[in-house]
Structure 1
Amino acid sequence: MPPDVLESLNSGDTAWVLAASALVLLMTPGLAFFYGGMSRSKSVLNMMMMSFGTIALVSVIWVLYGYSLAFSGDVGNGLIGNLDKIGLKDTLLTASGTSPELAFVAFQLMFAIITPALISGAIADRVKFGAWMVFVGIWVTVVYLPVAHWVFYFGDTSKTGDGGWLADSVLALDFAGGTAVHINAGMAALALALVVGKRVGWPKEQMRPHNLPFVLLGAGLLWFGWFGFNAGSALAANGQAAVAFVNTQVATGAAALGWIIVEKLRHGKSTTLGLASGAVAGLVAITPACASVNPLGAIAIGLIAGALCAVAVGLKYRLGFDDSLDVVGVHAVGGITGALLIGLFATGTVTGILTPESDGVNGLLMGGGLEQLGRQAIGVVAVGAFSFVATWVIAKLLDVTMGLRVTPEDEVSGIDQAAHAETAYDLGPSTGGGTGALAAAVAAAKEKPADKPADRKVEA
């Protein structure tokens, strides 16, 4: 590297960004377990394949042109980047802050991966895997890359109007992706679910999670990886990263409590699914705000988001759209909540932590006015509306041309067997030709009439 670039690099910051990148990647397998456990047993592999397939496809797209469109230059008005860094051209010998630019490339790649993966939960049990992969490729290109440019690209930080329009002109605060990731994915999930339609038998048929331990495992992996998602967005091992780390933890805990309290008040029981879902809702809500509020503000955001999302997930039954795994109720509602509450709870002691000569940004309840709340609202509406409309158009075109849904017969019998010729559990010939102990026991039981006293004695 050139001497001036080497002098700007910091080994500690570089190590933290690379470690945070690995943590964020872990979130997508964690999401696969979270969604997989919430799915029915006959479609769990397909659900998990959607996440892992997204990892593979988006990784290639990001190198070919994705990073360039999101983070190089600006074609005009802060809407999209250019192709100057296509194939990661000119990134090997450059720096991004105090780390090599390739470390930043890796970090932002993991955001680009998990965002479309989040959408998959809304269409569980009923979409062709090939159609899903085509959708991801188009959606990342048409929707995610422009929004990432709007929100995450700051251009020349010494002047305004040189970066993405939400970050650099509107000055909406989104530290780690409440709008670019969660509102974006949540509104896309709503549009895609509306185009694909309801599952066979929904809502009359009970479609409960088949493996709650998987759900808890996935939530735990998401919680762990989210420290890279939020604290890693500081792009340095500094005080801002420490604030984001602590806020992530306490907001998540508060949201989990908020969700199970609502469950207890409404249904008399607090569930493991509710606790896991509440934790994810808190992670979503604190994502945009983790470097804008103090820990008390983070607790408030978590409690509010946990309670609101617990109520919101039930609205799909009243409104009649089949969001299979509550992507809209958790990610859209949680992301909107966190982004808007910045306008109330932001404090200059945190927003100005890296620039002590500045007063920082204060929300309405922290001595500021309505200005920042207005900026946040612009970001929420712009990203939500663009994502919904663009996704609806993409989904309609794919549905007309190649078809999105599997056949009703394949959906009822199990999309795992129909789409992948596999099943998650070897329970006998009907689920993939297994010859396990359960299958043998069932076969033996069929050979002997159940009403013979001798049989009862042997069984006893």
Structure 2
Amino acid sequence: MDSGNIAWLLISASLVLLMTPGLAFFYGGMSRGKSVLNMMMMSFGALAVGTFAWVLFGYSIASGGDSIGNIIGNPFGDFAMMSVATSGEAMDIISAAFGATFAIITVALISGSIADRAKFSSWLVFAFLWVVLVYSPVAHWVWGTGTAEQDPNGDGFSALLGPNGPLFSGLPGPYDFAGGTVVHINAGVAGLVLALLLGVRKGFGKEPMRPHNLPFVMLGAALLWFGWFGFNAGSAFAADNFAATAWLNTTVATALGILGWLLVEKIRDGKATSLGAASGVVAGLVAITPACASVDPLGAMIIGLVAGVLSSLAVGLKYKFGYDDSLDVVGVHLVSGLWGTLAIGLVASGKIQDDAGLFYGGDIALLGTQAAAAAITIVYSAVATLIIGLAIKYTIGFRVTEEVEVSGIDLAEHGETAYEEAK
């Protein structure tokens, strides 16, 4: 055990845990005043339920211990994390805890797609089931362990959707250093499914539903950026070259994500907005997450800039196609997560992880394996989320009544309001 690496992972886990309260501010500020508390409570609820689900079953499913056909870990293989918690190995314990923070933030991201209209109790049930049945299996497929502990060089690594895994033996990649597929594509697809399942809010597309507190949004974006260093650099599981590279690339891509988003706004609308800057932060962070240990700073700039442009254009698609993704989970997390995952096949340098992308002298095989891993994640997340959502909808119900939605979900669901006169 290296005490420096243990200390770094303790700090990283704490940083990632901070991301979920940061998300609460980000989403809360984007919501209407009459639903801000409910929106923030959905993130705090994910903190509670996500931890519960991970400790009981999620870690065991994702860790791969006592694996069932190399497809899924036995849910009872380390039930309630009894074995790892009593192992006496500090690195094992904090690694398992680090995995919990990833599960928490991933399910919390989904809540932004169903703002203003979901029952809080139903959301808690969904969050528990989704962590166990969707997040944890995908984490197992991509990383082989519930803690995101990877072998970036592919030596002896046998995760289903990982380098040298059974689906991609002899091929380059696929790579997902910190969660492009597991976190962002997974959550983005789930958000789209729930938005379609619950339907549009009353007045969607006909009346303005503007963010009620832009300073909250910018504060949330700042907290997310700060916590994301634990997310990306912490996924190295050591204070080493991978961590340093991930930290640098995370900063570079995020800065360019802001510029890309603001550039589109300036050209399209004539104004560069604070909401656009905050959204550009998240788009850049999302896109660099899978690629942060695969690219050099130039590649990170390309990834961040393109992510800002793509997501700023994509958020308007909900009005064209008629799905009410309230806080742009699909436009930011699915689009930028998919771009960042595919971008490895284009701009991976080949210097840190073994395989280079097309623009760095590699062949198209890496782009193909990245696309295949993303596609499998999309299909599984969509189908599994739909089954969970339908089960909740037709048993305990998922959506609040129209009267509650109009009068304000905060008062109906929580018996309180954020402001004296919530609008």
**Above 0.5 in TM-score?**
yes
Deviation, 1:166, is: 3.6
Q: In the alignment, which residue of structure 2 is the partner of 1:91? A: 84
Map residues 200-239 of structure 1 onto 2, 5 A cutoff: 200-239=202-241
Answer with 67-76 or 276-285: which moved more.
67-76
Distance of 1:27 and 1:93 partners within structure 2: 28
Residue 220 of structure 2 aligns with an amino acid whose one-letter code is: G
Deviation, 1:113, is: 0.3
Render the CA deviation track for 1:65-118: whole Å, top value 9, x for unaligned: 21111103253443211232112132146588xx62001011111000001100
Q: 1:138 aligned to 114, 129, 132, which one? A: 129
Answer with 299-308 or 69-78: which moved more.
69-78
Distance of 1:137 and 1:196 partners within structure 2: 18
Structure 1 residues 114 and 301: CA distance shift in structure 2, 3 A: same
8 Å CA contact 1:77–1:165 kept in 2: the answer is no
Q: In the alignment, which residue of structure 1 is the partner of 2:279? A: 277
8 Å CA contact 1:74–1:162 kept in 2: the answer is no
Are 2:180 and 1:187 equivalent residues in the alignment? no
Please give the TM-score of this superposition, normalised by the length of structure 1: 0.86
Q: For structure 1, list consecutive stretches of 5 or more residues without a partner in the other structure.
A: 1-8, 352-359, 433-460
8 Å CA contact 1:78–1:161 kept in 2: the answer is no
Are 2:106 and 1:115 equivalent residues in the alignment? yes
Answer with 416-425 or 147-156: which moved more.
147-156
Distance of 1:139 and 1:205 partners within structure 2: 32
Map residues 39-438 of structure 1 onto 2, 5 A cutoff: 39-73=31-65, 75-82=67-74, 83-92=76-85, 94=87, 100-153=91-144, 160=156, 162-167=158-163, 168-169=165-166, 170=168, 171-351=173-353, 360-427=354-421
Residue 2 of structure 2 aligns with an amino acid whose one-letter code is: N
Distance of 2:391 and 2:57 partners within structure 1: 23
Structure 1 residues 239 and 94: CA distance shift in structure 2, 3 A: farther
Render the CA deviation track for 1:331-356: whole Å, top value 9, x for unaligned: 000100000000000112121xxxxx
8 Å CA contact 1:255–1:303 kept in 2: the answer is yes
How many residue pairs get aligned? The number is 411
Higher relative contact order, chain-length normalized (CA < 8 Å, sep 6+): 2
Residue 123 of structure 2 aligns with an amino acid whose one-letter code is: W
Q: For structure 2, list consecutive stretches of 5 or more residues without a partner in the other structure.
A: none
Distance of 2:77 and 2:340 partners within structure 1: 34
Residue 26 of structure 1 aligns with an amino acid whose one-letter code is: L
Residue 35 of structure 1 aligns with an amino acid whose one-letter code is: Y
Residue 6 of structure 2 aligns with an amino acid whose one-letter code is: T
SS at match of 1:19: helix
Deviation, 1:64, is: 1.5
Structure 1 residues 54 and 346: CA distance shift in structure 2, 3 A: same
SS at match of 2:73: coil
SS at match of 1:403: coil
Please give the TM-score of this superposition, normalised by the length of structure 2: 0.94
8 Å CA contact 2:161–2:373 kept in 1: the answer is no
SS at match of 1:348: coil
Structure 1 residues 77 and 159: CA distance shift in structure 2, 3 A: farther
Kindly report the root-mean-square deviation, in angstroms, between the aligned alpha carbons of the 2 structures: 1.8
Distance of 1:191 and 1:163 partners within structure 2: 27
Identity, % of aligned pairs? Answer: 57
Tell which structure's C-alpha radius of gyration is larger. Answer: 1
Distance of 1:399 and 1:91 partners within structure 2: 36
8 Å CA contact 1:74–1:163 kept in 2: the answer is no
